[in-house]
Structure 1
Amino acid sequence: MVKRIIAIGIIYFCIAVGWIILSATTYIRTEEQDDKLKSAVGQLWGTAQTQRAPQIYWLDRITRIETNADESVSRTVDEKHFLNLKTSRIEVDLSLEHRRKGLLWYSTYQVQFAASYTLINPTDENRHLYFDLKLPAPRAVYDDFTL
């Protein structure tokens, strides 16, 4: 009876070691594929993105006179004056989409982003303002983009 219990224990131990080896191999292969496929997923469906607040400014054209040892040179320079946003109303709608690449599944998202900003002109003059909005990805496709 003891021999049978020892035999069952040895068989159980060998099976457990086999499962550990199989799971480790599967895990390592999955991680290797994940490293390779992440860039492919980014090329197909886009990478992680962050949207920053816009910069709003006006330009003042200033003439500066710089004097060297022998001569003075006047240069016209555009000086930026930035305005702070008073309020921001931002609406984001995220839609999760699972996409399969190889044997792995990746979480991708469709994003609908809408924002309106208010600001205050600190001067008494009407200004020509510049609205500088850096988009998250330079080569991405943005549908229904309006300003």
Structure 2
Amino acid sequence: MPEDANPEQRSRPPTIRDVAERAGVSKSLVSLVLRSSPKVSDKSRQAVDEAIEELGYRPSAMARSLVSRHSGVGGMITSNAHDAFYADVVAGVSSYVNEHSEGIVPLILHGNNNVEEEMLAARRFLELRAEWLMLMG
């Protein structure tokens, strides 16, 4: 956080509103810049980019998921994480997702060969609104 930030800004991460104020533009324009919209002038884009850099702004994945209705979470449940076969499958799926599914984070939960733990893991993924769920084991 820059030294010239006020105390309120130092106690919380910068928001899209903070970026808009710093750049002297609307929140809507900041949103357009973040989405790489061609409708934004170079001058406005530069002002927003500079404000983002100065404030150390990072878009909120949670806020984006509310707007887009996509959680950005993919789920894998394995019954035996220590088995080399499952480790290879997890590595392969993670690699594929990283290359082909921009914005999806694969999460892995272990069922420990216990149906109740596997059901609990599945419920957790449902609560997270996982984009997909893979069961192994």
The TM-score normalised by the length of structure 1 is 0.27
Larger Rg: 1
